[in-house]
Each structure stands twice: as C-alpha cells, then as structure tokens.
Amino acid sequence: MLRALARVDVAAIERNCARLAAVAAPARLCAVVKADGYGHGAVPAAHAALAGGAQWLAVATAGEAAELRAAGIGAPLLVMGALSEAELRVALTARADVVAWREAFVQALPAGTGVHVKLDTGMGRLGTRDAEEALAVARAVAAAPGLRLAGAMTHFATADDDPAFVAEQLAAFGPWAEAVRALEPGVLVHAANSAAALRVPESRFDLVRCGIAVYGMDPFHRDPAAHGLEPVLTLSTYVAEVKLCAPGQSTGYGRRFVAERPTWVGTLPIGYGDGVRRALTNNADVLVDGRRRPLVGTVSMDNVTIDLGPDGGGEAHRGAPAVVIGAQGGERILAEEVAERLGTINYEIATGISARVPRHYVRSS
C-alpha cells in the first residue's frame, strides 16, 4: 500500500471531453493541459482528451509543448503564455502555434509559424487593450511571407460569476474578431473557457478552450455533476497507526487538538508535502470505511491525524484505506469542498498535489 496515491481515471477525461465537445459543437474543443494537466499528468490527460473528441491542445509554456511532442502527440497545439526569445525557439521546435499582440514579436517569427492574435477585452493581463493595435498586428501577420494568421482570441475574466461583464467583453471582441476574419477567412476565433463554454453559447465561436471541466471539476465551484461532468482524480492514503487518546492528551504540532473525551486517533502518512494544505488543520474530513472522519490537529509535512471516534475497535482501522479527495462507499469529498474550506478554488487543489504523490492511471467503465 502506498503512503499517498493520486488515482486518475482517464476514461472519465474521455467522457468529460465527449460531453464538452457535444456542448460546443459545431465549435471545436481545445483541451487545456497546462500545469501538468492541472496536476493529473499532461501526457495521459492529452491522450485521453483527444480520444474523447478534443481536436486541439493548449498549454501555457514552451516546455509544456515540448513535453507533449516528445511523447509523440501530434495534435494542433497552442502555447498561450508569454514567450522569451529562448522559449519561443522551444515552442517553435515543438511545432506549436503562439500568441501575439505586438508587431515587434511578429517580426521575430520565422516562416511557418501559426499566430493567434490576442485582444485584451477585460482580463487585463496579456494582449493589447487597443483593438486597432491588435488589428494592426493581425494585418502584419497576414502580410508576412510564410506566417499563418491562425487565430483571433481573448480571455474572459468573470465567466464563472459575472455574466454582465462577459457580455461587455463579447461586445468588444465580436466586431474585432470579424475584422480579423476578413483578413483570413479560415482564422479560428476563440474566447470561451470552461465556464463560458457551458453557460454562454454565443461565446463558443470556432473553438472553446476548456481546462477545469476536462478534469471533472466544476468551473462554477459547486458540483460537477450539475453539468454532466465526472471527477477524474482520487487522492488516497491509509491509516498507518491508531492510538487511544485520553481526555487532555493531544496530537500534532502546537497541540491544536486536545481530546475532551476518550477517542481513537488515526495517523495518515500524507501532509502538506503532498499537497494537503496546512490550513486544513481542524478544518477537513477524510473518508474511512465510507464515513467522514474529522481531520484533527495540525497538518504536518508528512502526516495528518483524524478522529475515529470513541467506539471500541479503533485498532481495527489500522491499515484501512482513506480518501482525502474522492468517493468511498456512499460518501464523497469533492475538490470543490476542500477549496471552499480553504477559501480558494478547485484549480489550486488539483495543481497543488505535489510531484512526490505517484499518479496511477486507470480506466473506469
């Protein structure tokens, strides 16, 4: 039994992508596999996404593109992030399309490069806010010998919680995208992330870029089942030790749990070194024997402790499987629940599972 294990259901990724592709149609699905596939493993996630109906893949960095190509993945690939001169060479060697918003960047591109021009309609990060400047960049790409004007794009800032601002962004993006399409009728227009793809039909254009939903997490931070999505990842461990804790006895650094009654405490060999955040101290549940057991005491780097209750037979739990994220019996703990307890988002929960936790790939039926 491994001290900690992240079980990744690649069949669930396939089914999620089939669901998203059906919702997006006739637009194409681009699966975002940046940050090591949101912590699930970029290469297995990419293979599963393509098998489920994705036609494009997107990453944030040149190194991520190179990793996919080294694994033999030949699908169309977009590097969405900013690129230094050295990183640009890596991205182009990986035969990836790149994003541009400055003419000086375009002038440095060699023939054969696919370019997606980005208009900043409200995210306030990459891209230019000036629609005329962005159109001039698109014209420069279209006029450059050997360059391909491959895409016109933007990114929504509030698709999960503020439809009014999404409408403002669409109003700014739509006319500009049509002007770019006039330069190159085959250009791919794309704007929608997971939340917009599911909730804002008019945002789908030619391509949707789905990330969090591919992995069966809810872009609206509630319940993925509401959108026909299946959680892909289970984070598990086991009860390595149990002991009876008498009233007044404590467990963990700082004595942040002191027993008020006799109770059995189980130690699980997983901690913040694995991605179980320290802020979950006295603030989480773990599943053992299909029941929720409160996490008690301070989360340390390598261990957490749980309250198994005062009932006899506590020692019988020694060696029992424990689930930190996922389902066991009739109970489940979603990444969304963990995120809510931490005051963050499900993205951070998945990407925060550290590299020392092995990923095991399975196929559910």
The encoded tokens of residue 181 equal 């399409």
Do 39 and 351 contact (CB within 8 A), yes or no? Answer: yes
Q: How many helices (H) and strands (E) does the chain have?
A: 11, 20
Per the annotation, the verdict on 253 as an active-site residue is yes
Backbone φ, ψ for residue 149 (5° rounding): -80, 95
Catalytic residue from among 34, 38, 118, 238: 34
Residues 6+ apart with CB under 8 A from 111: 145, 146, 147
Per the annotation, the verdict on 34 as an active-site residue is yes
Residues in a beta bridge with 244: 264
Cα distance between residue 203 and residue 112, in whole Å: 29
Catalytic residue from among 38, 243, 253, 272: 253
Cα distance between residue 254 and residue 263, in whole Å: 19
Do 295 and 283 contact (CB within 8 A), yes or no? Answer: yes
Question: Which active-site residues does the annotation give?
Answer: 34, 253
